[in-house]
Amino acid sequence: MTRLYSRTGEEISPVFPDLVDALEVAAPNGFSLDGELLILRDGLVQPFSVLQQRLNRKSVTAKLLIDYPAHIRAYDLLSEAGEDLRPLPFTERREKLEAFVSGCAHPRLDLSALVPFKTWKELAAARLDPGSAGAGDDAQAIEGLMLKRADSIYVPGRPKGLWYKWKRDPFIVDAVLMYAQRGHGKRSSFYSDYTFGVWRGENGSEDLIPVGKAYFGFTDEELAELDRYVRNNTINRFGPVREVVHTKTEGLVLEIAFEGLNRSTRHKSGVAMRFPRIARIRWDKPAREADRIETLEALLREA
């Protein structure tokens, strides 16, 4: 029986019955591969916000299966027909992966492309402009390059020295902390989940509008400082959520890094950030100098 698991080890097969059935038919002799779950429409990779429409669903309707067709882009082959391929060097696994995907010949499964280069300068150029390296219409969906040593075996986790994820430079925006909530696990005693916003409106009547939420990117020392700030500057409480002072003259600016931006009808701001994180705490910057919603809207127009 074919099963799907997230990177955290959670089984997500029930949410993607269409993909499970497709892979069962395509490769009945058993396999295990490392790949990325995507939503493809007309052959194009859709933004992560579209994939989220299928994640964490308790039930999957027929309309959802049609509107959000799931797809796997294969990166590596771990086993096939009972043979463990993980001890093989990447070059051999890649050959077997290419043969496997070709043999499946299924529209729900394709192969991540290799990026040819002769110099590091060429590779750096491909990272900055995936379209020039053969990404085609999917160029905007490319997050970066995965470098793998040709002789590297497949090991779990994040192996150092064997693989390196060279992501495209993130987008940066300065936003104001608006709300905070306690974290989970070892962070349960700290306010570590932060909602932030940017300015909107005419000069003199601006207000802050939430544009995202982040809960990583900072050190333990910075977490302690942020937690202390939240406790000392709380102006309201809504259940587990604390509202933090955020005016033109008072407020904490956070430098937010994020991988991309999509339009969203679910958020009041009309935008949704992909993988936002706190890049820097701007203790030095006044809240009135944080960015405006027009900055994010300009990024959307350029995408």
For the four alpha carbons of 236, 238, 242 and 243, in that order, the dihedral sign comes to negative
CA distance 142 to 47: 10
Percent helix / strand / coil, the chain, rounded to 5: 30, 35, 40
Per domain, the residue ranges of the chain are 1-112, 114-168, 171-302
Per-residue tens of pLDDT for the chain, all 303 residues: 788 888 878 888 888 998 988 888 888 888 999 999 999 888 888 877 788 788 877 788 888 889 999 999 999 999 998 999 999 999 999 999 999 999 999 999 999 988 888 899 988 888 877 877 767 667 667 778 899 999 999 988 776 788 988 887 788 999 999 999 999 888 999 999 999 999 998 877 789 999 999 999 999 999 999 999 999 999 999 999 999 999 999 999 999 999 888 787 777 888 888 889 999 999 999 999 999 999 999 888 765
Phi, psi of 3 (to 5 degrees): -135, 150
Q: Kindly report the CATH class assigned to 171-302.
A: mainly beta
Count CA atoms closer than 13 A to 35's CA, side-chain side.
Answer: 24
Predicted pLDDT at 294: 93
For residue 36, what is the DSSP state? E
Give the CATH fold of the 1-112 domain.
Answer: D-amino Acid Aminotransferase; Chain A, domain 1 (3.30.470)
Count CA atoms closer than 13 A to 138's CA, side-chain side.
Answer: 18
CA distance 7 to 46: 20
The two three-digit tokens of residue 107, written as one number: 């529209």
pTM of the model: 0.68
**24 neighbors 2 (Cβ within 8 angstroms):** yes
